[in-house]
Amino acid sequence: MAGKPKARAGGAPVGRRAMLGMLGAGAAGLAAAPSLQRGWEGFLGAASQIDATGLTGLLPNPGGFRYYSVVGSVPHKDETNYELQVGGLVERPKAYTLGELRAMPQTRVVHDVVCTDGWRVEKTPFEGVKLADILDDAGVRSAGAAIRFTCFDGAYSESLTLEQARRSDVLVALNMQDKPITHEHGGPVRLFVAPMYFYKSAKWLSGISVTDKVVPGYWEERGYAVDGWLDGADRHSDAA
Ligand SMILES: Nc1nc2c(c(=O)[nH]1)N[C@H]1C(S)=C(S)[C@@H](COP(=O)(O)O)O[C@H]1N2
Ligand SMILES: [Mo]
């Protein structure tokens, strides 16, 4: 599979030299300023939002993750303004607040995270609401066959078949590594599709729409497989 294009769809482009300079200054500032609370991960997350070069994706990160976004900046959302819209081919379209999602039964899934770019973070816990529960709440109509996911970054999208979406290891996740998902990792709510490559796990999730067929997502329109199964994934079992 070809490497991801590094061009970002939005935001002001930052030159490679400027980016290196900024990262250098940031790293020096971090070493010199113990008062900087967010730490290297927070810095990387912030830097990645203005990095049009993809360089931040190449920097070391103690957690093993790289931060990805196809746009230059993403609005921050929390309990005051977050909403998850569920609609399309359903009986009961609904918008969930963060509080409503937190009040639903929570499921914890531990699975390796694997990006097609070659990095992996082993045994990563995610916790949240089973997508299947949200679909049951909404009542999928008989014509419904797939799900389209949209994001409040305004650009990313993903897809699953209805059968995939109903697996018990597919979550509308609120926690990652047993903490609320940070903005950099797609919080407050992201998808976690444990048996598939991490590109299927849409960050900054804002919309779940039931469709009559699979609508290829952002990377899928750019050549990635619609079925993003990891090697060794059990495609037919429901086991997490
Ligand atoms: N909204 C959104 N979701 C996204 C992406 C993105 O660019 N935008 N990148 C995908 C890819 S390719 C990966 S590997 C993971 C990265 O998640 P992380 O930034 O939390 O490491 O998010 C996936 N979900
Ligand atoms: Mo990825």
Per residue in 135-182, pLDDT (tens digit) is 999 999 999 999 999 999 999 999 999 999 999 999 999 999 999 999
Q: Which residue has the tokens 């939005």?
A: 10
Q: What is the pLDDT of residue 237?
A: 74
C-beta 68 within 6 A of ligand 1 = yes
For residue 117, the ligand 1 atom closest to its alpha carbon is 14
The rounded Cα 25 to chain-centroid distance in angstroms is 29
Per residue in 80-91, pLDDT (tens digit) is 999 999 999 999
pTM for the structure as a whole: 0.81
Q: What is the pLDDT of residue 44?
A: 66
Q: How far is CA 160 from CA 23, 27, 144, 152, 193, in A?
A: 37, 39, 12, 19, 9
The rounded Å distance from CA 20 to ligand 2 centre is 22
Domains of the chain, each with CATH number or no CATH: 1-73 (no CATH), 84-222 (3.90.420.10)
Is residue 66 very low, low, confident or very high in pLDDT (cuts 50, 70, 90)? confident
Residue among 66, 199, 221 to mutate when testing ligand 1 (max atoms within 8 A of CB):
199
Residue 7 has pLDDT above 50, yes or no: no
How many residues appear in the chain?
A: 240
For residue 119, the ligand 1 atom closest to its alpha carbon is 14
